[in-house]
Every structure is written in C-alpha cells, then in structure tokens.
C-alpha cells in the first residue's frame, strides 16, 4: 500500500525515528525502540519502485542511521575524531543497506518475504558487525534495553540479538496494523508480542535465586582516577604506586579479590616483560602491597605487557620489531596471589584503529609505505584461547575461577559468556573509560555490563580507572557504584556461580540463523524475479 506524504512530513518522521532510536542510549528507556522503525517504514511506503524514488528513500535512510549514530555516540570524538566518522559511515552502509534491500523487496515481492528479509538481514548485519574486522557493535538494537533490565531477563536464553529480534518483529507488526487498522487480529498480535516478553521477563527475574549454600567472596574494586591523557604519563611511577597503595589499604582484611583497572601499570618507563615479570618495579610494588595487608587475597591488575620472541620465525603475526628483537605488546590482566604460576589474560577484542589495524593481511605489503606516510599498521597481541584466573587460598581451599574481560570485551555477549562456559564463576571487568570525558560514553559502557550479567547469570565486578566502578548482580541490578572523577574503593560480598546459561553455551545463534535465512531470502527473490520475468508466476 502506497501512502501520500509531503517532504516536510517525511522529514518529521525521519527525525521522530532518530529520537525513538536514541532514547535507550540516552538513559531514558529502550521501550520506544518497539516503535522506532515505524516512521521510517512509513516513509518507505510513500515511495514507489522507480530508481529515482529508490535514491530518495536511500537519502532518508542514511539520514536516520547517521543521526542515530551521531546522537548517541558523538563522544567518540574525544578519543579519536575519525572514529565517529567511521562509525557513522559503517552504520549507514551496513544497516542502512539492509533497510534499502527491504525497501526494494517491498516494491517487488510479497510483504511477508520483504519483512522476513528485513528481520533476518538486520540480525545477520548485527552478527557480522560483532565478528567483523571493523567492529563497533554499540548500536545493536538489543543494547538499547541496558537500562530496562526488568524487561529482558530472557537474555539468558537469547542474548542481545533476542532484543533486536523483539524490536524488529514488533515494529513490523505495528506498522502493518497501522496500515490495516480494521484488522483486529493484527492489533492483537502486535499487543501480544509487545507484552508477552515483558511478562516472561518479570517471571524469569522473580524466579531467579542465587544458591544460598555457596560461600560468598569479598571483592574490593579500586578506582585510582588517573587522567589518561596527562596524569597517567606525567605523574612519576612511584607517585602512582603510592596512590594505588593507599587505596589497596582500604580493602577489608578478609578480602578475596582486589581488582585494579585496565592498564593501571606498565608503559610508564617501566615495561613489564612476561618472561621475567617480577623485574618490573610496578609489579614488585603492587605485589608487596598485597602481601603486606592481604596475603590471602588475589590481586587482579590491568597492565601493558610485552612478550619477546627468539627470532622472526617464532614471532606472531602481530609482533613488532625493534632492531633485531621481535616482540608482542599486550593489554593484559595479571593475577598476583603469591603463587609461582603466573596468571595472565590478554585482551582479545581490540578497539579498531587504536589497538588494532583491520585487514592486516591486505595492508602488510604496504606497511613500509604507510609508516613513511605517518600512519600505523601495528596492533596489540591477542590470546588464541580464553584464560581464566584460578585462585586457591584459605577462604577457597578448593579454588575458584574468575575471568577478567578487559574494557571493550564487555561489549561482546558471546565472547563474555564463553568465559562462563569455560568455568568462570565471577566476572571482573577492568576498564579505563576516561578517554571519553564526562559524557554518555562511559555510562553506556557500564550499562552494557548489566546485560552481560543477565546473559551469563554472573556477578560482574567492574573496576574502572574512572567512569563507573561498581557491582552488578546476576539479574542486572546495580549495587554500590563509584562515579565520574572520583578516587576511592568499593567492597562487597558476591556469590560465585557455576551455572551456565543457554546463551553462554549457544552464543549468538540468532545472528547465525538470521544469516542463513537472509541468504535464502535473497536467493528466493532472485528466483521469484526470474520466474516472473519468464511469466511463470503472476
């Protein structure tokens, strides 16, 4: 059905779609997402199948996708101006492209086929963005419910992509009902799919209980509040260690874990070589602090570390060269507890352009030219396997396993949940959100950890250099927090768990299924158009 709209009406609808899409990331509510695509669908319905009208619709789609990205993620500018430009371009091309495929199909194929293509294609695009060489999956539709955790407790079954499916399905049903308001069945179906997931979530959330027989662990989070642009690199190492030491002293005597944030030590004239880690002045300093007051505790500290290779033949694909030496540089989490066995976990989900150069296989032959022009082609090293930080002390003689996802890794549900499938009983997220200043960026990043807690049903203990440090329960409820530009500590008792959710086992299966269905929809469309041109169908 084609509807009649004037240019100013299309503009108002486009801006309405941007507002409704953005509210979940602006800490209002993610529930407007359930109608956020309806205005864009109305604009699509106002155009015909001609090529000229297709390009006009592409313009409106690009406007919505671009403004949505800029409205919610403009703060990337503080870390890298090119970052917000790149994120906006990808948002327009990837998700705007999927919508334009739907728009084309809606003019030439049956409505059910077009809607299937939209939903399946969008889910595939989100899954692709999660695993692609260029990955900034901040605006996955399901992430918009990060502050409405009461409504998405079923993420333990579906992950964030389940929320995206909910948004897409409800938008399609409401749009169809808007066009056919006499069809009561459509209205009832739309209402059911709006309400049923919320009711199911309330039931699941109310029925979840921690095991009362599990011994709790005491965790202290340290937020040193070092300015990442100045203080981190200008304040002498000993002064930084003195501040850290004074904060560690605030931990209770029976503490089991003391957690320091991402890259709080290392790379300040005191490189940490993993082959001989205790040569580092910073490592010896924080280890002495731990032993002095909390000898039974495990200290988890974020650090920049290095690994030296014997020669070029032994070097990894990400290795760097300095003279005749080949080495890797890591963003790492180090566990210190007096055990002779070193426990190190390396960040594996890297920030594109800052920690990772995409398409290195293609760019490597041009490496010398790019460096000569002032660019960079290097990236941090990563782990091939997930590493847990196992602890055994007087409080836990049989041991407990924790994982320490680093910063950006807490955005990826499948990656995060895989730690729990491997045996992690507590999740210690370490991060440095100071790069974005006092903006929505660090708040959004914290809220995503609420979704990770639900997906994995784990306590999330989040230590930030600055931003928000805090404790999040397995139902996504926020406990004590320490906010922006504050130096201090937080301590709480949390319950380890060995439960493994369906989502932690299955991962982003909805994205994979969406990919298969999207491919089938494309093939069916090609077949349908061929048969129609051959007069085999009406």
Report the mean per-residue pLDDT for the chain.
91
Q: Is the pLDDT of residue 374 over 70?
A: no
Which whole-number Å values give the CA distances from 51 to 4, 66, 114, 229, 253, in the listed order? 18, 22, 18, 50, 71
pLDDT tier for residue 373 given thresholds of 50, 70 and 90: very low
Give the per-residue pLDDT at 358: 73
The CATH class that applies to domain 217-348+383-506 reads: alpha beta
Give the per-residue pLDDT at 383: 85
Is-contact 264 299, C-beta < 8 A?
A: no
pTM: 0.93
221-235 pLDDT, tens digit per residue, is 999 999 988 888 788
Q: Is the pLDDT of residue 452 over 70?
A: yes
| CA–CA separation, 43 and 513 (whole Å) | 29
DSSP string, 155-179: HHHH-HHHHHHHHHHHHHHHHHHHH
pLDDT tier for residue 370 given thresholds of 50, 70 and 90: very low
- Proportion of the chain in helix, strand, coil states, percent, rounded to 5: 50, 15, 35
Tokens of 302: 């974020």
Tokens of 282: 């910073």
Task: Provide CB contacts within 8 A for 150, sequence distance 6+.
Answer: 201, 202, 205
1-30 core/surface letters (b: 16 or more CB in 10 A; e: else): eeeebeeeebeebbebbbbbbbbbbeeeeb
| CA–CA separation, 388 and 66 (whole Å) | 39
100-118 pLDDT, tens digit per residue, is 999 999 999 999 999 999 9
| Mean predicted confidence (pLDDT) in 164-192 | 94
Residue 236, helix vs strand vs coil: coil
Tell me what percent of the residues of the chain surpass a pLDDT of 70: 93
Give the per-residue pLDDT at 340: 58
| CA–CA separation, 16 and 39 (whole Å) | 7
| Mean predicted confidence (pLDDT) in 84-91 | 94
Place of tokens 């699509």: 44
| CA–CA separation, 229 and 47 (whole Å) | 49
| CA–CA separation, 531 and 495 (whole Å) | 61
| Mean predicted confidence (pLDDT) in 228-243 | 88
Is-contact 396 217, C-beta < 8 A?
A: yes
Is-contact 392 402, C-beta < 8 A?
A: no
Residue 219, helix vs strand vs coil: strand
158-195 core/surface letters (b: 16 or more CB in 10 A; e: else): bbbbbbbbbbbbbbbbbbbbbeeeeeeebbebbeebbe
DSSP string, 437-457: -SSHHHHHHHHHHHHHHHHHT
303-349 pLDDT, tens digit per residue, is 999 999 988 888 888 888 888 899 999 999 999 987 755 689 999 99
Residues written for the chain: 538
For the chain, what are the domain ranges?
7-207+508-533, 217-348+383-506
| CA–CA separation, 402 and 389 (whole Å) | 5
Which whole-number Å values give the CA distances from 295 to 246, 336, 394, 496, in the listed order? 16, 10, 10, 21
The continuous run of DSSP H or E covering 218 comes out as strand 217-223
Is-contact 445 451, C-beta < 8 A?
A: no
Give the per-residue pLDDT at 9: 96
pLDDT tier for residue 365 given thresholds of 50, 70 and 90: low
Q: What are phi and psi of 221, to 5 degrees?
A: -100, 135
Which whole-number Å values give the CA distances from 353 to 88, 291, 350, 360, 436, in the listed order? 15, 39, 9, 12, 16
Residue 82, helix vs strand vs coil: helix
Give the per-residue pLDDT at 122: 98
User: Where in 310-403 does DSSP place strands (E)?
Assistant: 320-322, 325-336, 343-346, 389-391, 400-403
438-474 core/surface letters (b: 16 or more CB in 10 A; e: else): ebbbbbbbbbbbbbbbbbbbbbbbbbbbbbbbbbbbb
Task: Provide CB contacts within 8 A for 21, sequence distance 6+.
Answer: 32, 33, 36, 37, 64, 68, 144
Q: What are phi and psi of 217, to 5 degrees?
A: -115, 140
| Mean predicted confidence (pLDDT) in 285-314 | 91
Give the per-residue pLDDT at 352: 83
């Amino acid at each position: 059905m084609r509807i009649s709209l004037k240019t100013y009406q299309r503009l108002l609808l486009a801006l309405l779609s941007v507002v409704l899409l953005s509210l979940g990331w602006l800490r209002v509510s993610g529930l407007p997402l359930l109608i956020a695509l309806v205005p864009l669908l109305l604009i699509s319905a106002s155009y015909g199948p001609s090529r000229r009208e297709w390009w006009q619709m592409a313009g409106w789609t690009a406007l919505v996708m671009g403004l949505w990205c800029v409205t919610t993620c403009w703060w990337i500018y503080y870390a890298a101006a090119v970052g917000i430009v790149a994120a906006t371009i990808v948002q327009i091309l990837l998700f705007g492209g999927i919508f334009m495929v739907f728009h084309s199909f809606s003019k030439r194929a049956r409505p059910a086929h077009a809607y299937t293509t939209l939903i399946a294609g969008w889910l595939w695009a989100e899954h692709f963005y999660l695993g692609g060489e260029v990955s900034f999956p901040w605006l996955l539709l399901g992430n918009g419910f990060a502050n409405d955790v009461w409504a998405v407790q079923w993420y333990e079954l579906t992950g964030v992509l389940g929320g995206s499916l909910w948004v897409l399905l409800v938008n399609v049903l409401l749009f169809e009902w808007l066009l056919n308001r006499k069809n009561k069945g459509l209205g009832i179906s739309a209402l059911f799919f709006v309400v049923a997931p919320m009711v199911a979530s309330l039931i699941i959330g109310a029925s979840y209980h921690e095991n009362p027989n599990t011994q709790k662990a005491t965790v202290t989070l340290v937020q040193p509040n070092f300015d990442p642009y100045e203080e981190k690199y200008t304040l002498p190492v000993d002064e930084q260690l003195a501040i850290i030491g004074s904060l560690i002293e605030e931990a209770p005597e029976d503490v089991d874990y003391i957690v320091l944030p991402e890259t709080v030590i290392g790379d300040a004239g005191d490189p940490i070589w993993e082959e001989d880690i205790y040569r580092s002045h910073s490592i010896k300093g924080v280890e002495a602090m731990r032993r002095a007051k909390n000898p039974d505790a495990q200290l988890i500290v974020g650090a920049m570390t290095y690994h030296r290779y014997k020669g070029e033949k032994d070097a990894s694909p990400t290795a760097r060269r300095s003279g005749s030496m080949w080495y890797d540089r890591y963003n790492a989490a180090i566990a210190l507890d007096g055990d002779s066995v070193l426990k190190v976990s390396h960040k594996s989900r890297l920030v594109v352009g800052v920690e990772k150069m995409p398409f290195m296989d293609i760019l490597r032959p041009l490496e010398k030219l790019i460096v000569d022009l002032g660019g960079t082609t290097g990236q941090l090293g990563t782990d091939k396997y997930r590493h847990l930080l196992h602890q055994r002390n007087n409080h836990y003689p049989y041991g407990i396993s924790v994982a320490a996802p680093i910063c950006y890794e807490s955005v990826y549900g499948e990656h995060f949940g895989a730690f729990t499938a491997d045996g992690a009983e507590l999740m210690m997220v370490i991060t440095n959100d100071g790069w974005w200043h006092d903006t929505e960026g660090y708040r959004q990043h914290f809220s995503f950890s609420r979704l990770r807690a639900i997906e994995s049903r784990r306590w999330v203990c989040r230590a930030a250099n600055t931003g928000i440090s805090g404790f999040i329960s397995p139902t996504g409820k926020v406990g004590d927090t320490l906010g922006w530009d504050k130096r201090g500590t937080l301590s709480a008792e949390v319950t380890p768990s060995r439960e493994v959710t369906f989502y932690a086992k299955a991962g982003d299966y909805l994205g994979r299924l969406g990919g298969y269905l999207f491919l089938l929809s494309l093939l069916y469309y090609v077949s349908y158009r061929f048969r129609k041109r051959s007069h085999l169908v009406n």
